[in-house]
Chain A
């Protein structure tokens, strides 16, 4: 158990909907990364926040956005969902930008 929590564990929703995934870091962790893992594309980096500020953006679609709040938890918002957005979404947190303690992931199924 890394100490990083993600909610919900599973989410089933319909195309066109909007969902919010939550990541709660370990105590003291300032850095949070979001990743998408789909069957056909493997792991992809979405976005990185450090102490509330966006530090790097990867392959994140315009329909997706993220925030890191003052209490350092983070949320990933996915809107206008498509079938291809079905994937495992992981966050990873750490005290510095190079540490990666992964949460258990949220499995999103878009039907």
Chain B
């Protein structure tokens, strides 16, 4: 079993819909990143979380350390949000990193 599980694997939404992508992990972590990878290949770190909730524009990320779960929400989704979203954790005893397999989001106009 992968130490970092993301769901769903693929997601298609209509423009304007509320999107939720989930990440569950089975290891102790010091931090969690949500990454966005566009079709061109470039990667952007959207959020780094160690507790609670962060918001940036239409994006919200939450983490529950006790439940070992994080969610990424996109409000009022737009076609330009179409990308692969990847959850990455920094393991807290050795600073190793593990990645989820990614969620491919397609937002249709």
Contact = CB atoms under 8 A, between A and B. Distances in A.
A91 B31 CA distance: 18
B45 A45 contact: no
Contact of A56 (B33, B42, B95): B95
A55 B43 contact: no
Contact of A90 (B43, B90, B102): B43
A106 to B, nearest CB: 11
A75 to B, nearest CB: 20
B86 interface: yes
A58 B48 contact: no
B48 A45 contact: no
Per DSSP, are chain B's interface residues mostly helix, strand or loop, or mixed?
strand
B42 A45 contact: no
B96 to A, nearest CB: 5
B88 A43 contact: yes
A45 B96 contact: yes
Contacts of A104: 41-42
Interface string A91-103: 0100001111110
8 contacts: A42-B101, A42-B102, A43-B88, A45-B97, A48-B97, A97-B95, A102-B43, A104-B41
Interface of B: 30-31, 33, 35, 41-45, 48, 50, 86, 88, 90, 94-99, 101-102
Interface of A: 2, 33, 42-45, 48, 55-58, 88, 90, 92, 97-102, 104-105, 107
